[in-house]
Amino acid sequence: MPLALIDCNNFYVSCERMFNPRLEGVPVVVLSNNDGCAVARSNEVKALGIKMGEPWFKMEKIARQHGIVALSSNYSLYGDLSARVMSILSTFSPRQEIYSIDECFLDLAGFDPKTLLAYGQTIRQAVKRNVGIPVCVGIADTKTLAKLANHCAKKGLAGRDGVCDFGQLDEQRRRTLFASLPVGEIWGVGGRITEKLLAMNITTVEELCNANLEMIRSRFSIVLARTVQELNGTPCIELEDANTPRQQIMVSRSFGSTVTALADLSESVASFTTRAAEKLRQDGSVAASLCVYVHTNPFKEDDPQYQRSLVVPLGLPTDDTSKLVHAALTGLKVIYRSGYRYKKTGVLLMGLQAKDTIQATLFDDPAEQARSDNRMRVMDAINRRMGQGSVTIAASGVRQRWAMRRERKSPNYTTEWSELPVAG
């Protein structure tokens, strides 16, 4: 069963370059929320040896030397372009799994295997032409292999023009290729597992392919054993269709500066809950309970440390922003302790189920339910049209002193009328 993994090249950087062509050919790095560390790097930055996740303060000097342009992450822009890319990709297969903001799997079962390489090129060109984002395509019989094929396509190790189909490699060439790939390149083989494998003289993909399955299962885990099976062409990880609704919805963020007052924490919790409730309604789900949590900055070792979370049951499952916010704030009041410098709060909606399948109870009030539904529909419609946060509940606050630091953010080119790109 062949499938494809399509991955956008340096996605965030590509998004920025699309609307600011001056960044073409220039080393560009995109920083995480609060301008903390590198979350995307252009090829020029990779060539300078700057690693993913490297903190900005550590690279500031080398950045100045080489004229690296550092940008704050602009998730409104990346989210919109991602939705466009995924929508185009969805036209190439009846089954799509959106794996992350910049990658997705497509089921290619039933296609003539000889045509897949050309099909990969068609996919690649379609995304480039329609949205302007460059992608690479990896094709193979399992998810793990498709990921690896994508890596090879991106690095130009196999295939050509950004498309690599392992189905086109004969056994001899496949073996040579796998013997040249370090084991750490495999999907799901992280730093710690890599170290342990190296100690056992398993250094390449080919060596892990040939490792004894029983030994892997007993010395590591069933998960790694599954990876080995996948490397050998036996699919063990199912394709998850895009329309599987989420099981949990999490919204959390670190603060731009530390926050101490309950009032400020409350505003951020209310604001995150509002966002989570929007996502909930997009999925057509309701939540049965909600978890709210706070913690201080564990990297500030001199600061007194505190972290706590609390699950608040909601009674009747709901998707109503005001009810969810009320529950979240009730929970926050219970876990809040004064005298700490908080760095992060978050809200997790749990026990999600489809709204149209919840059971009615004796205490339902259909009239109130209808009013609530109407309220939420109007709120979502306004926010969709006028921009996120146009209508919100008063508890989210208007000052938002806790807001993230994003000093180098590009305009919201595709989601704000006042920030459109300009052509002279």
Partner 1 sequence: MPLSLCSKTSMTPLLQQAILLPAIGKPPILAPLFSHKVAAGFPSPADDYIEGRLSLDEHLISNKDATFFVRAKGNSMVGAGIFDGDLLVVDKSLTPSSGDIVIAIVDGDLTVKRLINRDGKVILKPENPRCQEIEFKEGQELQVWGVVTSAVKKFV
- Using CB under 8 A as the criterion, which residues of the chain lie in contact with partner 1 when the complex forms? 21-22, 24, 84, 87-88, 129-132, 362-368, 370, 413-414, 417, 420-424
76 Cβ neighbours under 8 A, 6+ residues apart: 388, 412, 414, 415, 416
How far is the C-alpha of 91 from the C-alpha of 88, rounded, in Å?
6
Whole-angstrom distance, CA of residue 159 vs CA of residue 51: 26
Q: How far is the CB of 314 from partner 1 (least distance, A)?
A: 13
The minimum distance between CB 133 and partner 1, in angstroms, equals: 10
| Cα–Cα distance measured from residue 357 to residue 351, given in angstroms and rounded to the nearest whole number | 13
Instruction: Find, among 31, 29, 6, the residue nearest to 17 by Cα.
Output: 29
Alpha-carbon distance 259 to 263, whole Å?
Answer: 10
Between 227 and 322, whose beta carbon lies closer to partner 1?
322
Closer residue to partner 1 in complex, CB, 64/129: 129
DSSP letters spanning 100-168:
ETTEEEEE-TTS-GGGHHHHHHHHHHHHHHHT---EEEEEESSHHHHHHHHHHHHHTSSSBTTEEEGGG
| Beta carbon of residue 19, minimum distance to partner 1 (angstroms, whole number) | 8
Is residue 96 classed exposed, middle or buried when 0-12, 13-18 and 19+ CB atoms within 10 A define those classes? buried
- If the CB atoms of residues 49 and 366 are measured against partner 1, the closer one turns out to be 366
Rank residues 88 and 197 by Cβ distance to partner 1 and give the closer one. Answer: 88
Return the ∠ at Cα 269 (arms to 263 and 270), rounded to 5°.
Answer: 90
Q: How many CA atoms lie within 13 A of 12 on its CB side?
A: 21
Instruction: In angstroms, give the least distance from the CB of 417 to partner 1.
Output: 8
Nearer to partner 1, 195 or 364 (CB): 364
Task: In angstroms, give the least distance from the CB of 24 to partner 1.
Answer: 8
Distance CA 327, CA 49 (A): 47
Minimum CB–partner distance for residue 376 and partner 1 (Å): 17
Nearer to partner 1, 398 or 423 (CB): 423
- In the complex, what is the shortest distance from the CB of residue 25 to partner 1, in angstroms, rounded to a whole number? 10
Output the smallest distance, CB 100 to partner 1, in A: 19
Q: How far is the CB of 294 from partner 1 (least distance, A)?
A: 23
Specify the residue, 25 or 53, whose C-beta has the smaller distance to partner 1.
Answer: 25
Answer for the pair 128, 118: CB distance below 8 angstroms, yes or no.
Answer: no
Complete DSSP assignment for 39-91? EEE-HHHHHTTPPTT-BHHHHHHHHHHHT-EEEE--HHHHHHHHHHHHHHHGG
Considering the complex, state which of residue 388 and residue 415 has its C-beta at the smaller distance from partner 1. 415
**Sign, Cα dihedral of 147, 148, 153, 159:** negative
Instruction: Please say which residue, 196 or 326, places its beta carbon nearer to partner 1.
Output: 326
